[in-house]
Structure 1
């Protein structure tokens, strides 16, 4: 399966918030890399996992996902 890059705008107010997102992404099959920017409220995820799967995992942390898109 081809790798995709997804960009999510996630409401995070502290390092605990970004840490929660990091923990779920670290465990998720099909994620090859991710970049979490607390300053930009942005999460970039690369891998073969589907958009919906990644979105669902981020939402399970309780963080509000403001928007998301497939970059490539």
Structure 2
């Protein structure tokens, strides 16, 4: 399962909690939040990069797809 890396403009614990909240609504998603570097690594076989990016944008924060990490 590839890991997709995203930039999310998180500045505090509340921001990372918002990311956790939106991602926890998706089935079959594993993720790691790197708050100091403003990155989120997501693993999912069910969801496209576009769907994951759209979900991250629901936090109200700027989000960008950075690429795939294997």
- Measured against the shorter chain, the TM-score band is 0.7 to 0.9
What corresponds to 2:69 in structure 1? 71
Change in CA separation of 1:66 and 1:51 when aligned onto 2, cut-off 3 Å? closer
For residue 60 of structure 1, report the CA deviation from its aligned partner.
1.1
What corresponds to 2:52 in structure 1? 54
TM-score normalised by L of structure 1: 0.84
- Root-mean-square deviation (Å): 1.3
Q: Post-superposition, which runs of at least 4 consecutive aligned residues in structure 1 deviate over 2 A?
A: none
Tell me whether 1:42 sits opposite 2:39 in the alignment. Answer: yes
TM-score normalised by L of structure 2: 0.87
Structure 1: any 5+ residue segments left out of the alignment? Answer: none
For residue 10 of structure 1, report the CA deviation from its aligned partner.
1.1
What is the aligned residue count? 69
For residue 15 of structure 1, report the CA deviation from its aligned partner.
0.4
What corresponds to 2:9 in structure 1? 11
